[in-house]
Chain A
């Protein structure tokens, strides 16, 4: 398994890591680096060194799952690298090769497959109020519980078309449109990718 070759197959790889000079500005501005034991500078350095063993280790680790994808690193890198995008490439390869299952944080991907990915496939939205369960989201507070409970009565007042046909916020997406979205996932490898992750979880 040549991991560098795998990484290069992703169209984003080349642009995400042109030449890192290890200045550490990305780490200085990174919200994940403040919260976790995480250092995007080290990730760039490690991938740049091209040591297969080290790359495999990082693909098996929790480290690549700490980034929050805010992309503040892109704005600041003096060399035009995008550590956040490099992380996406590493995560993709880690999932494709099944290496993510060696990491606790990596194994969380199945939860995202069973929520966000499933939502897209079933209803055509990443997020929808019916699927933001107040019991799973205590941080949303009592107001969310109230809205969640009475949404059918409140939504029209807010100009929304809750579960309606035609245009508008919160409308149901037609089966014909959903079929096209699902077909896109099939043709572009999105479906196969999710099945692979679920199988390896």
Chain B
């Protein structure tokens, strides 16, 4: 029995990480990347390298079929060479698509060692660089999960509704490429993914199990990136909302930046198109990244985390938890100067 469950465990390095930034996360949630580094360095006292020479892993292009396998493989090799050059062995890609790409390359290299040699040759020919394969690859959500009980005593707030005293009810959504491609790569495997549920439970919340819990967020790469195809994307996201609605979630938690953006922005679109929201009051269901949630519970300023750039507003959730915030600072710039407020949607309440 014990051996059976070993397949659902995952080794996560303790310290000395090499961080790789995400095109999508830094575009839509730059505050989350800053929060992750702050949590690791200041709350947990860990060493994490933020190398300025990194670049895209090409994952979005690879899965949109505009970047061939050999090219992506060699770009991955260059990123590993940066890690090697800095003396690190534990690779931490911010993006779930990147996480899938790295996991895929490592699996392919293990199955076909000659492919790894090919990557070495390509990289040498292109950049005169060499690389070592990391000892450990973990998604940042894995690391927060690993240290969830170390973070808990530092937290100022719990996932408890202060008006009712009951645990907040949370929908967790895990990016498909976290564990569906290589199931061993995820905590709890693809069958019992526990990376976000573990955080929610540790911090006082209750996880909602609903029929379409594991359905894709609907990104679909070319199905969203090409404007004409976006019906695919919104239809699949809508399927999830329809399925979770009756469980009345207080918020949605994600580990993939793309999923977070779609689950947030498609609520606005559905509201404007169909006059439909998936909460009772017409504000939508707030969608948080795990970095935002961790930061909020630790008492970080919500406007430095970037909650103001979500379309579904988070104030009502913060009120439920009892997190104080200053509405006057919401739309201020970094100097404290007040910027013009964003326009209000026609139907979705903000």
Asked if B111 and A15 make an inter-chain contact with CB atoms under 8 angstroms apart, the answer reads yes
Chain A residue nearest to B218 (CB atoms) is A31
Give the chain B neighbours of A103 by CB distance below 8 A: none
Interface status of B65 (Cβ within 8 A of chain A): yes
Interface status of B84 (Cβ within 8 A of chain A): no
Interface status of A155 (Cβ within 8 A of chain B): yes
One of B155-163, B165-173, B222-230, B316-324 at the interface: B222-230
Interface status of B89 (Cβ within 8 A of chain A): no
Give the chain A neighbours of B214 by CB distance below 8 A: 72
CA distance A157 to B301 in the complex (A): 10
Partner of B50, one of A70, A95, A117, A167: A167
Partner of B228, one of A35, A108, A158: A108
Asked if B68 and A190 make an inter-chain contact with CB atoms under 8 angstroms apart, the answer reads yes
B51, B52, B232, B234 interface centre (most CB from chain A within 10 Å) = B52
CA distance A150 to B334 in the complex (A): 11
CA distance A19 to B327 in the complex (A): 59
CB distance from B242 to the nearest CB of A (A): 13
Interface of B is mostly: helix
One of B5-13, B26-34, B142-150 at the interface: B26-34
Interface status of A25 (Cβ within 8 A of chain B): no
Tally A residues with Cβ within 8 Å of B: 82
Report if A127-B53 is in contact (Cβ < 8 Å); known contacts: A146-B342, A184-B78, A193-B68.
no
Interface of A is mostly: helix
Beyond A145-B343, A174-B53: 9 further Cβ-contacts under 8 Å?
Answer: A69-B63, A88-B65, A125-B55, A138-B269, A153-B334, A155-B30, A157-B334, A169-B34, A170-B26
Residues of chain B having any CB pair with chain A under 8 Å = 21, 23-27, 30-31, 33-35, 37-38, 50-56, 58-61, 63-71, 73-75, 78, 100, 108, 111-112, 115, 122-123, 125-127, 129, 176-177, 179-181, 183, 190, 214-216, 218-223, 225-232, 234-236, 239, 265-266, 268-269, 303-306, 308-311, 331-335, 337, 339-345, 348
Residues of chain A having any CB pair with chain B under 8 Å = 10-12, 15, 31-32, 34-36, 65, 68-72, 74-75, 88, 91-92, 95, 105, 108-109, 111-113, 115-117, 120, 124-129, 132, 136, 138-147, 150, 153-160, 165-171, 173-174, 177-178, 180-181, 183-190, 193-194, 197
